[in-house]
């Protein structure tokens, strides 16, 4: 096994471990606790869509979910914790796919194929959960780059870039690619609803940065 492949595997593990934080599903979780967690996340998402991030509070989420505020606080800690957990939950299928073998996202795919497929998948998340992404970024502020979901995405992209272009600063390039998914930037670029253009532009950026390694 090559060093690059080993690093990619370690990065995938880090991507999974990075999201095992507060608010994540717990092994052996009681049925009522799991039900409450789903209700809380669903209520958070609905309030985001209906009222905007500025009107999402622990009190309102608890009322909408039909649970006590203490339940929300103990499980998620804060509004930021709610947004972090909701984004991680909505990105869970992507996390699973990069751990599996099936191409194009999984380990059987070529590095370039996996990178482009991953960026396409992030575009899908952005299209369907843009309000969440923007709210999550505002809530996290300067701590955005330490967010478990972001760390996992960054580790995965860094490993793929390192395989494609060993001479590049993979961590820097990964940050540049993920910057294309800044919530407010995406909102501005897709104001006309042209998500096809956005996806192709992100692909073009990846090609510009690492395409010589294909």
Per-residue pLDDT tens digits for 151-204: 999 999 999 999 999 999 999 999 999 999 999 999 999 999 999 999 999 999
Q: What is the pTM of this model?
A: 0.78
Q: Is pLDDT above 70 for 10?
A: no
Q: Quick one: pLDDT at residue 24?
A: 56
Q: Quick one: pLDDT at residue 21?
A: 52
The more confidently predicted of residues 212 and 17 is 212
Owner of token pair 């958070």 = 44
83-132 pLDDT, tens digit each: 889 888 888 889 999 999 999 999 999 999 999 999 999 999 999 888 88
For the chain, list the strands marked E by DSSP. Answer: none
- The CB density around residue 77, as the number of other CB atoms within 10 Å, is 15
Long-range contacts of 202-205 (CB under 8 A, 24+ apart): 202/119, 202/122, 202/123, 202/177, 203/116, 203/119, 203/120, 205/176, 205/177, 205/180
Q: First-to-last CA distance in the chain? A: 20
Rg of the Cα trace of the chain?
Answer: 18
Read off the tokens for 195: 């998500």
DSSP letters of 6-73?
HHHHHHHHHHHHHT-STTS--TT--HHHHHHHHHHHHHHHHHHHHH-GGG--HHHHHHHHTS-HHHHH
Contact between residue 161 and residue 112 where contact means Cβ atoms under 8 Å apart: no
- The CB density around residue 168, as the number of other CB atoms within 10 Å, is 16
Read off the tokens for 7: 């690093």
The string over 91-116, giving b where at least 16 C-beta atoms fall within 10 Å of a residue's C-beta and e elsewhere, is beebbebbbeeeebbbeebebbebbb
Model confidence at 36, pLDDT cuts 50, 70, 90, reads very high
Owner of token pair 């600063």 = 169
């Amino acid at each position: 096994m090559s060093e690059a492949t080993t690093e990619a595997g370690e990065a995938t593990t880090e991507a999974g471990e990075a999201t095992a934080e507060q608010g994540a599903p717990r092994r052996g979780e009681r049925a009522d606790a799991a039900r409450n967690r789903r209700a809380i996340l669903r209520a958070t998402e609905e309030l985001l869509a209906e009222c905007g991030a500025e009107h999402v509070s622990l009190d309102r989420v608890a009322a909408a979910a039909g649970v006590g505020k203490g339940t929300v606080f103990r499980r998620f800690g804060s509004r930021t914790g709610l947004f972090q957990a909701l984004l991680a939950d909505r990105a869970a299928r992507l996390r699973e796919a990069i751990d599996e073998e099936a191409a194009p996202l999984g380990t059987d795919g070529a590095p370039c194929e996996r990178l482009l497929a991953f960026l396409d998948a992030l575009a899908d998340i952005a299209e369907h959960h843009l309000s969440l992404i923007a709210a999550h970024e505002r809530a996290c502020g300067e701590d955005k780059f330490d967010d478990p979901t972001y760390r996992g995405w960054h580790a995965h992209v860094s490993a793929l870039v390192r395989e494609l272009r060993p001479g590049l600063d993979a961590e820097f390039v990964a940050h540049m690619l993920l910057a294309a998914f800044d919530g407010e930037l995406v909102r501005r670029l897709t104001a006309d609803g042209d998500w096809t253009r956005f996806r192709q532009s992100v692909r073009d950026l990846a090609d510009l940065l690492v395409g010589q390694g294909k």
